[in-house]
Amino acid sequence: MAIISQRAYRFRNWAGNQQYTAPHYYQPETEAALIEIVKTHRKVRMVGTGHSWSALCHTDEALINLDLYNRVIALDRDQKLLTVKAGIKLWQLNDYLDTQGLALINLGSIAQQSLAGAISTATHGSGIQYRVLASQVQRFTLIQADGSVLTLDRDADKENFDLAIISLGALGVVSEVTIHICEAFRLHDRTYSMDFDEMLGRLDELVTTTDHFKMWWFPHVDDIVLYQYQRTTATANDSRLRQWLMDEVLSVLVYRFLVWIGNLLPSLRPTFNKLLVLSFRSPLDRIEKSYRVFNVADPPIHREAEWAFDLRDAKEVLSAYRKMIDERSAS
């Protein structure tokens, strides 16, 4: 069968804050079927895994999902280029590349997203030398409203490529993607906590001397959790038992339980936050495959917002942000 279709499809995003009924829902398996759907409907929207928090996948006509359109098409080892159908999930890419001794150049904190969804929303990982996932794309094809297929190549048609690569699904259906990949690598992960003010003093050094640097601050706690990932070819030394205990038991069961109690009894949140950060007092120091370090355990349902600002303003912005949260909570 080339298309699975459904009427009155109930869409619910990952966080559950976006829900509606799409009159038509399709899961095509071939490009011909995909083009046929696009030509049949006046309006279509795409949905990948539905992990976006915004109302990006709403339509009063047809919703298309590419979960069945996810094959690897070609691997060019010499050029380090991989061509895939755009519905492939990042975790499927990680698994496939791992079997080939290869890897994605950079990743965000989860891998459930579809490649097309991650590219179309400028999904990013960390690292001052590394850019958003879309920056790794060399070429992609777009099915336009009339069903025609447009190929955009970063070198051959730079202007249109740059205009169309991060489209929030508004310019057509991304159908095939050719992405730059690299030799498999591992990450030396040092995760630990540091006093917030000390971190501010050392921020420039931490950002510029670490391949992939990120921080998590839990409100009302003086310490902040720092993640320093350094790219390495050294052998992995992390234990699967530790990963299971941390990623499945502690991070999922215990953390979700604390969030649940915190929602019932908000006055306990500062204490829980302090306890969570205390657990990072003994630093994590391990070497593991890149994607296993980049990707964190399944987090509890939450909503996120993002702000971008110049690194030169970071200290001022972060201090003001902490002050604002502390003051508002106290009042």
Residues in contact with ligand FAD by CB under 6 A are 14, 45-52, 56-57, 66, 86, 108-110, 113-114, 116-118, 120-121, 123-124, 168-169, 173-174, 299
**CA distances (Å), origin 238, targets 190, 253, 276, 278, 293:** 12, 21, 21, 22, 10
> What 3-state class would DSSP assign to 169?
coil
Beta bridge partners of 21: 10
Residue (96 or 274) nearer to ligand FAD, CB:
96
Residue (93 or 173) nearer to ligand FAD, CB:
173
Residue (306 or 327) nearer to ligand FAD, CB:
306
Task: Please report how close the Cβ of residue 175 comes to ligand FAD at its closest, in angstroms.
Answer: 7
Helix (H) / strand (E) element for 284: namely strand 284-289
Tell me which DSSP letter residue 300 carries: P
Do residues 70 and 85 lie in contact, with contact meaning Cβ atoms separated by under 8 Å? Answer: yes
Task: Please report how close the Cβ of residue 195 comes to ligand FAD at its closest, in angstroms.
Answer: 25
Residue (127 or 169) nearer to ligand FAD, CB:
169
What is the chain's length?
331
Task: Please report how close the Cβ of residue 172 comes to ligand FAD at its closest, in angstroms.
Answer: 7
Residue (253 or 265) nearer to ligand FAD, CB:
253
Maximum pairwise Cα distance, the chain: 61
Task: Please report how close the Cβ of residue 31 comes to ligand FAD at its closest, in angstroms.
Answer: 12
Residues 6+ apart with CB under 8 A from 94: 103, 104, 107, 111, 291, 295
Residue (109 or 191) nearer to ligand FAD, CB:
109
Beta bridge partners of 27: 4
Encoded tokens for 95:
């698994």
Sheet containing strand 62-65, strands side by side? 3-12, 19-28, 62-65, 44-47
Encoded tokens for 315:
């200290």
Residue (83 or 114) nearer to ligand FAD, CB:
114
What gap in Å lies between CA 219 and CA 228, rounded to an integer? 21
Task: Please report how close the Cβ of residue 199 comes to ligand FAD at its closest, in angstroms.
Answer: 20
**CA distances (Å), origin 277, targets 104, 206, 297:** 30, 19, 16
Residue (117 or 127) nearer to ligand FAD, CB:
117
Task: Please report how close the Cβ of residue 331 comes to ligand FAD at its closest, in angstroms.
Answer: 31
Task: Please report how close the Cβ of residue 231 comes to ligand FAD at its closest, in angstroms.
Answer: 18
Task: Please report how close the Cβ of residue 182 comes to ligand FAD at its closest, in angstroms.
Answer: 19
H helices within the chain, ranges in order? 31-40, 90-99, 115-120, 158-164, 196-209, 240-243, 255-264, 269-278, 290-294, 314-330
What gap in Å lies between CA 330 and CA 306, rounded to an integer? 24
Task: Please report how close the Cβ of residue 328 comes to ligand FAD at its closest, in angstroms.
Answer: 25
Residue (164 or 221) nearer to ligand FAD, CB:
164
